[in-house]
Chain A
Amino acid sequence: MIRAFASGMWIHVVQFSRNPFDLTGIVVWPILYATIAYYLLDSKDNPKLLLGASLGAAVMLMWSLVVIGSSNALENQRWLGTLELLVAAPVPFASVIAPITVASGVVGGYALVATLAWGTLLFGVPLSIAHPLPFVAAVPSCVLAIGMLGLVMASTFVLYRAAFSLGIALQYPVWIATGLLVPLSTLPAFVGHIGWCLGPYWGFQAIKQATLGSAGGAWKDIGMCFAVSAAYAVIGSVCLHFFERVARARGSLKLT
């Protein structure tokens, strides 16, 4: 199972990195959101705020890649007629799907580098990471937390053939609820409570704490990333198992 996960993730990272056109999109999108944030937040004259916006924009794209990339990957499997083969493979279906969602998050790492470089070179945003070691741990933790939330979402994509549209629709609600660019204090209080249940919130907090806050806070948030990832892994596996059985019973796996 571990081998299936590791080799699957490697294959998908390579595949997602193959098309220069796709990569351009991966780099351009967070830069756009970060640029909008720079122009709007510029008036506050707070470099830390701009650096926080860079990190937020990068995590936004990580989530988009996971939710859109994985839904698109599953929809492609459907179109190519290979989804049934994946379901019939002699390993748990979760170990086939999880590499797709986590690999999407890994590719989002390009976005992090591009956004930080863009902000520094064009807008003079100071790139100073307060705690490098927690930062190095926070990035993969964030990828894992987002990827595992993607696994929960992907379970519905197995059942539902308009997966790609659902993936697109889920972008903004999660961006808002996790306070990536807009602080949760600006939003109604109940939104913050939703954010606590979402992986991108803890992933972003971990990266932000490591960059701008305290090392202790960063490690605590990294711990939360692992906790929510474990919870998502359990929920995702159960949902996948259930939805896979429903899809098999309905004979809808092949429907495009």
Chain B
Amino acid sequence: MNAIRIFFVGGVTSYRALFNWVNPWVFVPQTLGYPIFEILFFSYLGRFADVQSDKFFLIGNAFMALAMTGFFGMGNAVGGERRSQTLPTLLASPANRLALFLGRAVPSILTGFTVAVTAFTVCAIVLGVTFTKSELAGLAVAGLCSAFACTSFGLCLGALGLRGRSVSLFADTIGGSLLLLSGANVPLERLPAAVQRVSNVLPLTHGIQAGRILGGGGSFADAAHLLRGELLVGCCYLVLGIVMLRVFEYIGRRSATLDTF
């Protein structure tokens, strides 16, 4: 019960603190601007290269927008505490660590979901791409699976924040790698076999593929194995992230490095 309280109260407080720090009139256009221009950039690059359709890039990069908030939400939850020198105090409390950091990340992830949906809608209008209601429902399901997998992966990145000080940069680089490795912008079959094997164990890869099937009018039966794959990848990273949180906190306490910045 206490963990649930920490999850909600901590999450709401940190989210309110964000808006005390950043004016919403500035935050909203900034947050929306990045994914919208990213989608347009790659869609126009695809048009120039005569590779795939606008729908291919629209779905791939809308999922990327979803992924980044999962990565950064968790990564920054830990990194932000370190930067403001409150990490040791926070970890001295007996609170459940997962509830503590997930509570801070979930509001960011929900915001990210809203941002991704808005960017998707705006770019679909700009690029003249249309979807039926059932296609949109399928995309939403695939998006939720990917959000879960990316948040789980973000938990691992967040755990790294207990040991390192450049987690944001690391998350940024990993996110950038996914532009290529997840198949968001390059059809997977064009990548070398070794790279495809790496792609298969990354979050987002199966989600994007499922999204493209469902967004292209395919049935859930066609995409079921991909959705299962995405959820499986997410579960693996969730377990790994929880283990990493425990181990790195223990090492950080032992070596007294929690507040080094």
**Stretch binding the partner chain, chosen from A2-10, A113-121, A166-174:** A166-174
B180 touches A35 (CB 8 A): yes
Within the complex, what minimum Cβ distance (angstroms) separates B45 from chain A?
5
Contact with B172, one of A25, A39, A44, A166 (Cβ below 8 angstroms): A25
A21 touches B166 (CB 8 A): yes
Cα separation A175 to B38 with both chains bound (whole Å): 10
A40 touches B41 (CB 8 A): no
Within the complex, what minimum Cβ distance (angstroms) separates A220 from chain B?
25
Contact with A183, one of B33, B48, B170 (Cβ below 8 angstroms): B48
The 0/1 profile, CB within 8 Å of B marked 1, for residues 16-52 of chain A is: 0001011011001100110111011111100000000
Cα separation A79 to B83 with both chains bound (whole Å): 10
A172 touches B41 (CB 8 A): yes
A29 touches B48 (CB 8 A): no
Contacts of B51 in A (CB 8 A): 40, 43
**CB nearest neighbor in A for B34:** A169
Given contacts A25-B172, A28-B173, A165-B22, A41 and B49 within 8 Å (CB-CB)? yes
Is B185 among interface residues, defined by CB-CB distance under 8 A? yes
Main secondary structure of the interface of B (DSSP, over half): helix
A165 touches B30 (CB 8 A): yes
B180 touches A32 (CB 8 A): yes
A175 touches B41 (CB 8 A): yes
Given contacts A25-B169, A176-B41, A40 and B26 within 8 Å (CB-CB)? no
Within the complex, what minimum Cβ distance (angstroms) separates B83 from chain A?
8
A186 touches B44 (CB 8 A): yes
Is B147 among interface residues, defined by CB-CB distance under 8 A? no
B49 touches A40 (CB 8 A): yes
Given contacts A40-B45, A40-B51, A43-B49, A172 and B38 within 8 Å (CB-CB)? yes
Given contacts A182-B44, A182-B45, A186-B47, A169 and B33 within 8 Å (CB-CB)? yes
Is B238 among interface residues, defined by CB-CB distance under 8 A? no
Is B179 among interface residues, defined by CB-CB distance under 8 A? yes
Is B4 among interface residues, defined by CB-CB distance under 8 A? no
Is A194 among interface residues, defined by CB-CB distance under 8 A? no
Contacts of B100 in A (CB 8 A): none
Contacts of B131 in A (CB 8 A): none
**CB nearest neighbor in B for A39:** B186
Which range contains the number of A residues in contact with the other chain? Answer: 35 or more
Within the complex, what minimum Cβ distance (angstroms) separates A158 from chain B?
15
Is A227 among interface residues, defined by CB-CB distance under 8 A? no
Most buried by A among B23, B34, B48, B186: B48
**CB nearest neighbor in A for B190:** A39
Contact with A176, one of B44, B177, B185, B190 (Cβ below 8 angstroms): B44
Is B250 among interface residues, defined by CB-CB distance under 8 A? no
The 0/1 profile, CB within 8 Å of A marked 1, for residues 129-172 of chain B is: 00000000000000000000000000000000000001001101
Within the complex, what minimum Cβ distance (angstroms) separates B51 from chain A?
5
Contacts of A181 in B (CB 8 A): 41, 45
* Subset of 16 A-B contacts with CB under 8 Å: A19-B166, A22-B169, A25-B169, A32-B177, A35-B180, A36-B180, A39-B180, A39-B186, A40-B46, A43-B49, A162-B22, A169-B33, A169-B34, A173-B37, A176-B40, A186-B48
Contacts A28-B177, A29-B173, A36-B185 aside, 19 further interface pairs with beta carbons under 8 A come to A19-B166, A25-B172, A32-B177, A32-B180, A36-B179, A36-B180, A39-B186, A39-B190, A40-B46, A162-B22, A165-B27, A166-B26, A166-B30, A168-B30, A171-B34, A173-B33, A175-B37, A186-B47, A186-B48
Residue numbers of B with Cβ under 8 A of A are: 21-23, 26-27, 29-30, 33-34, 37-38, 40-42, 44-51, 83, 166, 169-170, 172-173, 176-177, 179-180, 185-186, 190-191
Residue numbers of A with Cβ under 8 A of B are: 19, 21-22, 24-25, 28-29, 32-33, 35-37, 39-44, 79, 160-162, 165-166, 168-169, 171-173, 175-176, 181-183, 186-187
